[in-house]
Amino acid sequence: MSKSVIYLENVKRYYVVGDFCVKALDGVSLNINRGEFTSIMGPSGSGKSTMMNLIGCLDTATSGLIKIDGESTKGMNETELAYIRNKKVGFVFQQFNLLGRKTALSNVETPLLYAGISPKRRKEMAMDALEIVGLKDRMKHKPTELSGGQKQRVAIARAIVTDPSIILADEPTGALDTKTGGQIMELFESLNLQGRTVVFVTHDVKLGNMCNRQIHLRDGKIVEEY
Ligand X SMILES: Nc1ncnc2c1ncn2[C@@H]1O[C@H](COP(=O)(O)OP(=O)(O)OP(=O)(O)O)[C@@H](O)[C@H]1O
Among the listed residues 38, 39, 46, 165, the single contact to ligand X using CB under 6 A: 46
Looking at the Cβ atoms of 9 and 219, the one nearer to ligand X is 219
Q: Whole-number minimum distance, CB 101 to Mg ion, in Å?
A: 27
Under the binding rule (CB under 6 A), the answer on residue 48 touching ligand X is: yes
Q: Which does 1 bind (CB under 5 to 8 A by kind): ligand X, Mg ion, none?
A: none
Q: Does 47 bind ligand X (CB under 6 A)?
A: yes
When the beta carbons of 188 and 200 are compared against Mg ion, the nearer one is: 200
Q: CB of 195: closest distance to ligand X in angstroms?
A: 28
Of the candidates 104, 91, 105, 99, which has an alpha carbon nearest to the alpha carbon of residue 146?
104
Contacted by 22, from Mg ion, ligand X, none: CB < 5 to 8 Å by type: ligand X
The residue sitting closest to Mg ion, measured at its beta carbon, is: 49
Nearer to Mg ion, 49 or 106 (CB): 49
Cα separation of 6 and 35, whole Å?
Answer: 11
Return the number of the residue (105 or 168) whose C-beta is nearest ligand X: 168
SS3 content of the chain, % helix, strand, coil (to 5): 35, 30, 35
Nearer to ligand X, 44 or 144 (CB): 44
Interaction of residue 44 with ligand X, rule CB under 6 A:
yes
Q: Is 58 in the site for ligand X (CB under 6 A)?
A: no
- The number of residues that bind ligand X (CB under 6 A) is 12
Interaction pattern, residues 9-38, with ligand X; x per rule: CB under 6 A:
------x-x----x-x--------------
14: helix, strand or coil: strand
Interface residues toward Mg ion, by CB under 5 A: 48-49
Q: What is the 3-state secondary structure of 118-181?
A: CHHHHHHHHHHHHHHCCCHHHCCCCHHHCCHHHHHHHHHHHHHCCCCCEEEEECCCCCCCHHHH
Nearer to ligand X, 15 or 114 (CB): 15
Across-strand partners of 25?
A: 13
Nearest-10 Cα torsion for 43, 204, 191, 226: 60
Out of 38, 49, 152, 162, point to the residue binding ligand X (CB under 6 A): 49
Rounded-to-integer distance, Cα 153 and Cα 96, Å: 9
- Dist. CA 171–CA 201, nearest whole Å: 5
- Taking alpha carbons only, the member of 201, 206, 209 closest to residue 46 is 201
* CB-count burial class (<10 Å; 0-12, 13-18, 19+) for 23: middle
Residue numbers at the binding site for ligand X (CB under 6 A):
15, 17, 22, 24, 42, 44-50
